[in-house]
Amino acid sequence: MAMIQDIFSSFVALVPVTLAQSLILAFVVLGIMIPFRMLSFPDLTSEGAFPLGGCVAGVLLAAGQSPLTAIAAALIAGFAAGCCTAYIHLRFRIHTLLAGILMMTMLYSINLRIMGRSNLSVFGMPSLFQWSPFGQPGFPSTKIVIAGALGLLVLILLYLFFKTERGTGIRAVGANPDMAEAQGINVWTATIGGVGLASAFSALSGSLMVQSQGFADVNMGLGILINGLAALMIGEAITGKQTVLRQLAAPFVGAVVYYQLVSLCLAAGMPPPDLKLATGMFVLLMLALPSLKRGRAPGAAREVMRE
Amino acid sequence: MLEIKSARKIFFRGQADEKIALDGLSLSLKTGDFGVVIGSNGAGKSSMLNAISGALILDTGKVQINETDVTGMPVYKRAAKLARVFQDPMKGTAASMTVAENMLLADLRSQKRRLRQGLNATRLAAYKERLELLGLGLENRLDTRVELLSGGQRQSLSLIMAVGGEPELLLLDEHTAALDPRTADIVMKATIRAVEALKLTTLMVTHNMQHAVDYGNRIIMLDAGKVRLEITGEEKEQTTVADLIGHFAVKSDRMLLAS
């Protein structure tokens, strides 16, 4: 009994920190969801775009630039990275996953070049999380309010966008690219813009993370993709994905729940090295579930993806 | 209206399985014409439609729609001028999107898509009205995702989507071939109603000789990537299914002799 109480109290103590972290990482999950679900373009760029955003923001912050400049630069860099991945796929007909792997591998060198070394401290530099009129600067509550408000704003804007004429066109590219093209939609523009936007969100997440933790590290993206996927699966299991709003809410809900679960596992004494194995098994289980339910018959592939 | 001049397309050029899909094919349709394209498998029917819609880029030759040269124009730009219904009901609609959203996509085919609300009350009412004409109850399922509809309903929706917005040219690619006879009949009747009401210039590919005889004002028979035979006017009125099958027979006899 005392042990359970111990686990519980150490979990509860970590709830605010974890919540702040998960709201920042929700943008990566969003950056994974948009290509995967809206464009049928399973994309791995986020593993490189997240540290890219962090490195770009880190260098600018260390040079004394304002946090907003740093975030804007990270967004632009992320957008460019996403556009490259989409272009590689479209122009050379390379599978989206391979295009993403190429991009994230190349980004590793680029990130090192940008920073000039493997990590960079921006501790004590001005950050977005110090501008808060709520609570004390730098405390989890401030981060929760700022990251949460930013997330809500992005969610609303994306929802409105996907309901516009142009947004509906972009969704059609994901649903049926041939049909979309026959309806006068430029598949290239929509794909490049959409994947670019998604990577911009991943980079935004990286730039926020750097400001939150006070340093940028070239390895900060390691494993972010599988964590993001796990969060997305959980989110979709909770919110569903039948409507645009549910699909857009899934990354945010998923990120919050997933990172609390991780925190609970750690509090319960799971050795941190096992975390990736557990996450990977979880994602595998979620992806395998429909096939397990159907029995052994191999049925149609569940996810229709681009070649 | 539609002008194809000496269209030529060779697949796998220089390889063992080289295939001449279009061999100097020329064809012209006047505004308001309803051409029915027949021909055996591999005659070049689909290649011709693909060349018109832009899915296939010609090696040589020209395609003009209403005096505009569209030979090198990408599919999404040609979409402003033409609409197409495919044989496969899955191809013409976006499965994971709702009926209304699919209608919206087709509605904006020839317009610039802007950053303004897509589905508004005016549009929804108009879509409802258009779908009512089918008599399939689709007007009450505007918010249903298309993947939940039957093949016939999807194909009917594709048709309504294609004729909405009054395209300059309507391409029908064996669009009733994958449906059961009763549904095929409903879709075919709806097609004829729409084509006549809107006076659409239409090109329909079919394997159904009865349809070729019953509908349209012109029969175009393709063979080996060329127009083998064109029947128009009076002659078309008097053509029977037996005549058409006769033409196929002549062709296969000749093929026998040639081999």
Residue A31's nearest CA partner among A240, A190, A227 is: A227
Domain containing B242 equals 2-258
Residue A302 is predicted with a pLDDT of 46
- Could you tell me which residue, B170 or B17, shows the higher pLDDT? B170
| B110, B162 Cβ separation under 8 angstroms | no
Q: What's the average model confidence in pLDDT over A270-295?
A: 86
Residue A40's nearest CA partner among A252, A258, A190 is: A190
Q: Which residues of A touch B91 (CB under 8 A)?
A: 176, 178-179
Q: Is the per-residue pLDDT at A110 higher than 90?
A: yes
Q: For B135, list phi and psi in degrees, rounded to 5.
A: 70, 30
Q: What's the average model confidence in pLDDT over A14-28?
A: 95
Exposed (0-12), middle (13-18) or buried (19+): which is B224, by Cβ within 10 Å? middle
Helix axes A187-213, A46-62, angle to 10 degrees: 50
- Whole-complex ipTM: 0.88
Q: Give the residue from B70, B75, B175 with the most A CB atoms within 10 Å of its CB, the best one to mutate.
A: B75
Residue B259 binned pLDDT confidence (cut-offs 50, 70, 90): very low
In chain B, the residue whose alpha carbon lies closest to the alpha carbon of A178 is B91
Q: Is the per-residue pLDDT at B94 higher than 90?
A: yes
Q: Is the per-residue pLDDT at A238 higher than 50?
A: yes
- Could you tell me which residue, B40 or A263, shows the higher pLDDT? A263
Exposed (0-12), middle (13-18) or buried (19+): which is A69, by Cβ within 10 Å? middle
Q: What's the gap in Å between the CA of A143 and the closest CA on chain B?
A: 32
Residue A127's nearest CA partner among A72, A217, A25, A207 is: A207
Strand B218-223 relative to strand B34-38: parallel, antiparallel, unpaired? parallel
- Residue-wise pLDDT tens digits, A248-270: 999 999 999 999 999 999 998 88
Helix (H, G, I), strand (E, B) or coil at B30: coil
The answer for B157, left when phi > 0, alpha when psi is -120 to 50, beta otherwise, is alpha
The pair of structure tokens assigned to B117 is: 């609300």
Residue with tokens 């260390």: A62
Contacts A–B by Cβ distance under 8 A? 87
User: Distances in Å between the alpha carbon of B127 and those of A270, B99, B100, B101?
Assistant: 56, 9, 7, 10
Residue B238 is predicted with a pLDDT of 85
Residue A296 is predicted with a pLDDT of 61
**A217-254 exposure pattern, b = at least 16 Cβ within 10 A, e = fewer:** bbebbeebbbbbbbbbbbbbeebebeebeebbbbbbbb
DSSP type of residue A118: S
Question: What residues contact residue A18 under an 8 Å CB cut-off, 6+ apart?
Answer: A259, A260, A262, A263
- Residue-wise pLDDT tens digits, A59-105: 999 999 999 999 999 999 999 999 999 999 999 999 999 999 999 99
Q: Give the residue from B46, B50, B96, B104 with the most A CB atoms within 10 Å of its CB, the best one to mutate.
A: B96
Q: Is the per-residue pLDDT at B20 higher than 80?
A: yes
Residue B195 is predicted with a pLDDT of 92
Integer Cα distance of B53 and B44 in angstroms: 14
Exposed (0-12), middle (13-18) or buried (19+): which is B233, by Cβ within 10 Å? exposed
Residue A194's nearest CA partner among A55, A64, A37 is: A37
Between chains, do B76 and A178 touch, taking CB under 8 Å as contact? no
| A51, A218 Cβ separation under 8 angstroms | yes
Between chains, do B76 and A186 touch, taking CB under 8 Å as contact? yes
Q: Is the per-residue pLDDT at A231 higher than 90?
A: yes
pTM: 0.90
Between chains, do A185 and B76 touch, taking CB under 8 Å as contact? yes
Residues of B with CB under 8 A from a CB of A: 53, 74-77, 79-80, 83-84, 90-97, 101, 104-106, 108-111, 113-119, 145
Mean pLDDT of chain B: 89
Between chains, do B77 and A172 touch, taking CB under 8 Å as contact? no
User: Distances in Å between the alpha carbon of B79 and those of A258, A268, B111, B203, B223?
Assistant: 44, 59, 10, 15, 28
Residue B18 is predicted with a pLDDT of 87
Between chains, do B108 and A161 touch, taking CB under 8 Å as contact? no
Residue A3 is predicted with a pLDDT of 84
Residue B252 binned pLDDT confidence (cut-offs 50, 70, 90): low
Q: How many domains does chain B have?
A: 1
Whether A119 has its CB under 8 Å from any CB of chain B: the answer is no
- Residue-wise pLDDT tens digits, A133-190: 666 666 788 899 999 999 999 999 999 999 999 999 999 999 999 999 999 999 999 9
Residue A286 binned pLDDT confidence (cut-offs 50, 70, 90): confident
Identify which of B91, B111, B145 has the shortest CB distance to residue A178.
B91
The pair of structure tokens assigned to B128 is: 């409802």
Identify which of B75, B91, B113 has the shortest CB distance to residue A166.
B113
Between chains, do B115 and A172 touch, taking CB under 8 Å as contact? no
Which of A45-49, B61-65, B135-139 comes out lowest in average pLDDT? B135-139
Integer Cα distance of B259 and A234 in angstroms: 64
| B93, A176 Cβ separation under 8 angstroms | yes
The 3-state secondary structure of A196-225 reads HHHHHHHHHHHHHHHHHHCEEECCCCCCHH
Strand partners for A215 = A121
Amino acid at A80: A
Whether A189 has its CB under 8 Å from any CB of chain B: the answer is no
The pair of structure tokens assigned to B47 is: 């290649």
- Residue-wise pLDDT tens digits, B139-170: 999 999 999 999 889 999 999 999 988 899 99
Residue B54 is predicted with a pLDDT of 92
CATH number, domain of B161, equals: 3.40.50.300
Residue with tokens 């005659």: B43
Strand B82-85 relative to strand B226-232: parallel, antiparallel, unpaired? unpaired
Q: Is the per-residue pLDDT at B251 higher than 60?
A: no
Instruction: Report CA dihedral (B82, B88, B93, B94) to the nearest 10 degrees.
Output: -130
The answer for A163, left when phi > 0, alpha when psi is -120 to 50, beta otherwise, is alpha
Residue B237 binned pLDDT confidence (cut-offs 50, 70, 90): confident
Whether A159 has its CB under 8 Å from any CB of chain B: the answer is no
Between chains, do A180 and B94 touch, taking CB under 8 Å as contact? yes
Exposed (0-12), middle (13-18) or buried (19+): which is B8, by Cβ within 10 Å? middle
Between chains, do B94 and A176 touch, taking CB under 8 Å as contact? yes
Q: Is the per-residue pLDDT at B255 higher than 70?
A: no
Q: What's the average model confidence in pLDDT over B86-93?
A: 90
| B157, B102 Cβ separation under 8 angstroms | yes
Identify which of A172, A184, A187 has the shortest CB distance to residue B97.
A172
Between chains, do A184 and B97 touch, taking CB under 8 Å as contact? no
| A52, A67 Cβ separation under 8 angstroms | no
In chain B, the residue whose alpha carbon lies closest to the alpha carbon of A183 is B109
Q: Which residues of B touch A169 (CB under 8 A)?
A: 105, 108, 113
- Estimate the share of chain A in helix, then strand, then coil, as percent rounded to the nearest 5: 75, 0, 20
Mean pLDDT of chain A: 91
The pair of structure tokens assigned to A161 is: 């966008």
Whether A301 has its CB under 8 Å from any CB of chain B: the answer is no
Between chains, do A169 and B113 touch, taking CB under 8 Å as contact? yes
Between chains, do B76 and A181 touch, taking CB under 8 Å as contact? yes
Residue A305 binned pLDDT confidence (cut-offs 50, 70, 90): low
- Could you tell me which residue, A300 or A179, shows the higher pLDDT? A179
Q: Give the residue from A90, A179, A185 with the most B CB atoms within 10 Å of its CB, the best one to mutate.
A: A179
- The number of residues in chain B equals 259
All structural domains of chain A with their residue ranges: 26-120+127-230+271-293
Residue B97 binned pLDDT confidence (cut-offs 50, 70, 90): very high
Between chains, do B94 and A175 touch, taking CB under 8 Å as contact? yes
Whether A167 has its CB under 8 Å from any CB of chain B: the answer is yes
Residue B200 is predicted with a pLDDT of 93
Q: Where are the alpha helices (DSSP H) in B75-117?
A: 75-78, 99-107
